Amino acid sequence: MDSVASRVLAVLGAFGADHRNLSLTQLSRRTGLPLATTHRLVGELAAWGALERDAQGRYRIGLRLWEVGSLAPRGLGLREMALPFLEDLYEATHENVQLAVLDGADVVYVERFAGRSSVGVRTRVGGRWPAHSTGVGLVLLAYAAAGTQERYLAGPLARFTDRTITDPDRLRRELAQVRRCGYAVSDGQVTLDALSVAAPVHGTADDVVAALSIVVRAGSVAPAALAPAVRTAARGISRALRAQPQSFRSMEGP
């Protein structure tokens, strides 16, 4: 990490959901770069609009970087195609609706609508969560390439509640079950009060590029009753992606 490009990326990567506003000193400490270097880089980034200053003189991610980031096909691009179907599912249910992709061992949430009278969920757009605990994650793992799945099963499986699946063999059986049913259920595996039903979104090569879920209060509805609505909306998104072929292939390497 000693090229200048890597220093620029280190400055950008220093920001996070819990570190949205950082002083020059904090940036220097979090990146491990000398204060003078940090000062110069931050000046260039702010001049371009990648960073902005808040009223206290601290730095935060700027609108221009958000604009450039919004061009990511797996971020806002996917979300724009999916939005009408998410709206339909939300209007039909008024429950939490979420769209996510797999990145490494995490699901990354690309869109969510929060049902105001539904159960509270911990996700935010742009946020990450370990895949094995969530409905969308179970779908994305179930349809991932064999290598990706094996790497995941070999790693530690964090426990969030008593119901989180932390045994690799049980997770493997669960993923096989998801492929058989065409949808996943995560019941109390993230928080005990929430149940999620998720379905795959297919890309142009029929690979699974995203997953859609609905999250309701555990015990309020039978998962099998939610699956048709979620699968219908997910199929709608898949069809929209196929109609616009260029960008939505899976990121999995050969």
137 CA to centre of own chain: 9
DSSP class of residue 133 equals G
CB of 116 to a second copy, least distance (A): 6
Q: Which is nearer to a second copy, 15 or 183 (CB)?
A: 15
Q: Which is nearer to a second copy, 76 or 157 (CB)?
A: 76
Q: Which is nearer to a second copy, 66 or 151 (CB)?
A: 66
DSSP class of residue 134 equals S
97 φ, ψ (degrees, to nearest 5): -125, 130
In DSSP notation, 54-65 reads -TTS-EEE-HHH
Neighbours of 69 (CB within 10 A): 12
Give the integer Cα–Cα distance in Å for 147 and 211. Answer: 19
CB of 171 to a second copy, least distance (A): 24
Cβ-contact 227, 197 below 8 angstroms: yes
Q: Which is nearer to a second copy, 162 or 246 (CB)?
A: 246
CB of 4 to a second copy, least distance (A): 3
Bridge partners, residue 128, by sequence:
108
CB of 71 to a second copy, least distance (A): 4
Q: What element of type H or E holds 200?
A: strand 194-202
CB of 194 to a second copy, least distance (A): 19
Q: Which is nearer to a second copy, 129 or 183 (CB)?
A: 129
Can you give the binding site for a second copy, defined by CB under 8 A? Answer: 3-9, 12-13, 15-17, 20-21, 40-41, 44-45, 48-50, 52, 54-55, 60-77, 80, 83-84, 87, 90-91, 101, 103, 108, 113-114, 116, 124-126, 128, 246-247, 249, 251
